[in-house]
Structure 1
Amino acid sequence: MQGAAKLAGLFLGAGVMRTDAGWALTYLAQPILVTKACAATDFYVMATALLAWHLMRRAGSLVWLPVAVAAALLAAVPVTLLVNALRIVTVAHAHRWVISRMPSSYDAFLHMATGAAVFLPALIGLNLLLEFHGRTSLPASRD
């Protein structure tokens, strides 16, 4: 949570300070509070599972399962921090330009939908990157 808040603050050009509830970003006139609910734990679990699955596909043997899981657990951390920071930035802009103009009864749903609109393409992009990275099945040139 702290890493994503600080990275989002860097992206927004906003100050970041610790509060009792979490991390506060001073963005324009509206402060942004990053709490434990913003930790992206679900995204981390999905990214870890996706990374472990791709590593196991490449390894081809169940013997490598502990190594694949450990590597996926480590590799998912920076991915999650970056994507969560992007989600915080996107939600900040969505609150400024869209959510604040809608009835307040939609706030929670729009906040969650904006997060899903960042997390889902990020998972799809990660999957595509893992699918096509390192493939050498290009056709041989005929000279």
Structure 2
Amino acid sequence: MSSKFNGSRNDGDTTPDTGIEAHADLRDGAGKLLGGIVRRDGEWVLGMDGKMVGSSDSAATMLALIRRAASMHERTGAIAKLKFSDALRDAANAEARQLGLEFQQFEAQLDEKMKSDPPSSARGPTDRTGLH
């Protein structure tokens, strides 16, 4: 599921420097871009289906999330090709090591947390008024 990613979407691309560094691509079997991770202003940003869906200082979290998206895509029977940069992989591994974990352990813990704590939209509306 992973291979080396050179940070370029197109080897002949001469896109101007925008301060955004591409670090991961998730593509379907036809090569259509499904999602990706960029680094912008020191923050890792995850995009899916052309929309920014999250950002974090945590490389490990972003890498785990895009790997989870690839696995979910593959479970539907579709092909998912995930490529990510050495810089993203190294940052994720270093972050996990700081927590005393291997990246795979970090990823498994995040997966378990996500299974046991569904997003607020899945739990229904939240009463923020303090009234019951």
TM-score, with structure 2 as normaliser: 0.28
Considering fraction of residues, name the structure with more strand.
2
Considering fraction of residues, name the structure with more helix.
1
Larger radius of gyration: 1
